[in-house]
Amino acid sequence: MERVDIAIIGTGPAGLEAAITARIRNKKVLLIGEPDLSSKLAKAHRIDNYLGFPEIAGEDLGRHFQKHLEQIGQEITQDRITAVYSMGDYFALQGKEEIFEASSVILACGVVMEKPFPGETEYLGRGVSYCATCDAALYRGKSAVVLGYSPKEEEEAAFLAEVADKVYYVPMYKADRFPGLGDSDKIEICGEKPLEFVKEADGMVLKTASGQDLKTDGIFVLREAIAPSQLVPGLETDGSAVVCDRQMRTSMPGLFVAGDIAGAPYQYIKAAGEGNVAALSAVNYLAEQKRKAQ
């Protein structure tokens, strides 16, 4: 895929507004996320504080957002970015099966509320992974534990089981059924509460609250969002938020943030407003880069 002007990661209100504003400013935009937008929209039964839409259900607000995207002809590229690297005058974004290139990036990925498990960050890439599709091939004939934070991850675990010998699926949400797992006899559902990841000479161990530890070759942690410090190596963060100024500029030139990832308050209208500011800042950044190159 050819390099775009602005890559936007996240399809919540922040990312969508950033995409709309960037398109209005005639930029080539890559909007990466989910066709059904954000689970935080779907979960809200009633929203009372979004300008122009009193007492609206989250799903209905999402439909208005979808319609707006369709009207301006902005498509969503369904993918999950696992890493963003600054390459000097552009950024490389690692998707599940593809690497995207962009002259600037807006992170609009929402906030990660969960703290990493002890051992998670330490062994990332050495027994811990955030992407089953990307790393499945490494587990041919091996076993893996998948911590799935939403039903969407069931399909990722099923995909992994096509290659691996054994997959332990640990649902981190409440459900009676797991239809996305399919009928593979290689998948075992475990109701254990994970506590810690430990590396041993011959693999990983998931320590659990019940003491029924799971010995495996690798542990996949499939959350809706990845902590920004892990998503963008070297980015300045403050707890779960990315440090930014009022123009939504971060410590990395050309990389902007918007929405919950930029810190509290966690609100739809604030997220959308910041998406607008981040897009305009990205537009200014691109103009400046063009001037410098002349």
Ligand X SMILES: Cc1cc2nc3c(=O)[nH]c(=O)nc-3n(C[C@H](O)[C@H](O)[C@H](O)COP(=O)(O)OP(=O)(O)OC[C@H]3O[C@@H](n4cnc5c(N)ncnc54)[C@H](O)[C@@H]3O)c2cc1C
Footprint of ligand X (CB under 6 A): 9-15, 32-34, 37-38, 40, 43-44, 47, 49, 80-81, 108-110, 224-226, 259-260, 266-269, 271
Nearest approach, Cβ of residue 26 and ligand X (Å): 23
Describe the chain by its helix, strand, coil percentages, rounded to 5: 30, 25, 45
Amino acid identity, residue 210? S
What is the β-pairing status of strands 91-94 and 237-238?
Answer: unpaired
Please say which residue, 182 or 273, places its beta carbon nearer to ligand X. 273
- DSSP-assigned states of every residue in 81-150: --EEEE-SSSEEEE-SS-EEEEEEEEE------SPPPTTTTTTBTTTEES-HHHHGGGGTTSEEEEEESS
Nearest approach, Cβ of residue 65 and ligand X (Å): 10
Please name every residue paired with 77 in a beta bridge, in sequence order, or none if there are none: 32
Query: In the structure, how many helices (H) and strands (E) does the chain have?
Result: 7, 17
Nearest approach, Cβ of residue 8 and ligand X (Å): 9
Cis amide linkage into residue 265, ω under 30° from 0: yes
Q: What residues contact 221, with CB distance under 8 A and at least 6 apart? A: 117, 120, 128, 129, 130, 147
Q: What residues contact 212, with CB distance under 8 A and at least 6 apart? A: 192
Nearest approach, Cβ of residue 92 and ligand X (Å): 14
Q: Which residue has the tokens 């691109």?
A: 286
Q: Which residue has the tokens 């209005």?
A: 24
Nearest approach, Cβ of residue 111 and ligand X (Å): 7
Please say which residue, 81 or 235, places its beta carbon nearer to ligand X. 81
Nearest approach, Cβ of residue 179 and ligand X (Å): 20
- In whole angstroms, give the CA distance from residue 133 to residue 150: 16
Please say which residue, 56 or 198, places its beta carbon nearer to ligand X. 56
Nearest approach, Cβ of residue 165 and ligand X (Å): 28
Task: Give the ranges where 4-105 is alpha helix by DSSP (H).
Answer: 13-24, 39-42, 58-72
